[in-house]
Amino acid sequence: MRIAVVGSGYVGLVSGTCFADFGHVVTCIDSDEAKIEALNKGVMPIYEPGLDHLVANNTAAGRLLFTTDLAAAVSQAEAVFIAVGTPSRRGDGHADLSYVYAVARDVARNVKGFTVVVTKSTVPVGTGDEVERIIRETNPEADVAVVSNPEFLREGAAIEDFKRPDRIVVGIEDERARAVMTEVYRPLYLNKAPLVFTARRTSELIKYASNAFLAMKITFINEIADLCEAVGSNVQDVAHGIGLDNRIGGKFLHAGPGYGGSCFPKDTLALVKTAQDHGSPLRLIETTVAINDQRKRAMARKIVRAMGGDVRGRTVALLGLTFKPNTDDMRESPAISIVQGLQDAGARVRAYDPEGMEAAKAVVSDVAFGPDPYSIAEGVDALVLVTEWDAFRALDFPRLRLIMNDSLFIDLRNVYRRELIARHGFRYVSIGRPDEDITAALSTAAE
């Protein structure tokens, strides 16, 4: 099939590249000339493991093209995917759909013959109806079927998620679109990926409901972690114990500094706003959003407490800045609030991240960046693991002990065990696991 993907950001580039790898002929379109020029030279605008090789292979095979010429690509396509950004709108938190609607108008002017127009961007319920209205208004002669096909990609594992999905959700109102979308995803037949056809509005809601549920699950275990610290329990054991229940499952039960990224923060907020607008408020999701915002700010206070309550003039080094490993995405990362909180308390901040430092420079200031964990740790009063990159899972603690000013290691991802860190002479603070002072106090109380 001939497919056009409008928008060559995270979703569009990964989706278009994987479609090409299936054997379809795909043209990825973007209005950013510099981005398209870079892509044609093999330079990726994002960091996603394996994407550069996949792009190179399919470009060389002639199945993947990059252009700014929307008209030519759309006029030849059997399916056009809209994959532009839908950021939170300033002021009210609603999804900003201006880019989606602008593309709908451009597509309407250039389609030839029957074309399936697919909204791949994450959009609120009813967006497909408006996209169809815009297309009909712009070009009454256009023969199109407007479809919702939300993405469920995890940054850092997006290629695997696309090629081996849990499900493929397709919302249609025109039955002609069913055959086209089945053919688009036919290469996944051998993987037995369930192709779930629903009404268009239902498909749009499935995406938001999925992300909101996962965000709520993360927030739940983070609150349980706080309780574990207070009563002397271990949140990892609690998570394991409840996760063995098949009704609950073990995924997204890892306590940490709060969720971030391009999806959960904006999608939960957009769902809250949609529900409020329709007179059906989602109290659980409203609370989830509020708790997560508070938690990210609370992490800086946790570090300050671990350092004795006063960090003025002292130096803290952060390992990891991106909201999760295997991405360079800094959007809504907990590290942003941590840096700001530490600086507000008077601390000097250093940081290292394997991929995210360039992006971090745009959202944090007065941070001293270093080329590796050990260069930033020299002479610091505390070392804080913020993002669980593989590069931080086997740190040389004897070396760190020699170069740090104070032997305090704060693990906000529970990567290490206390006994290992203590063996190297470090004081260890983690999430949802009681420190030695609390354990001793609880034991004394019990006696």
Point out the residues that are catalytic: 263
- Torsion angle of C-alpha atoms 12, 17, 21, 27, degrees rounded to 10: 80
Q: Which residues contact 393 (CB under 8 A, 6 or more apart)?
A: 415
**Helix-strand-coil percent breakdown of the chain, rounded to 5?**
45, 15, 40
Task: Note whether 45 and 123 are within 8 A (CB).
Answer: no
Helix (H, G, I), strand (E, B) or coil at 196: strand
Q: How far apart are CA 395 and CA 374, in angstroms?
A: 9
Cβ-in-10-Å burial (0-12, 13-18, 19+) of 359 comes to buried
Q: What 3-state class would DSSP assign to 174?
A: coil
Cα first-last separation, the chain: 73
Provide the angle, in degrees to the nearest 10, between the axes of the packed helices 334-344 and 283-306: 50
Task: Name 391's Cβ contacts closer than 8 Å, sequence gap at least 6.
Answer: 354, 373
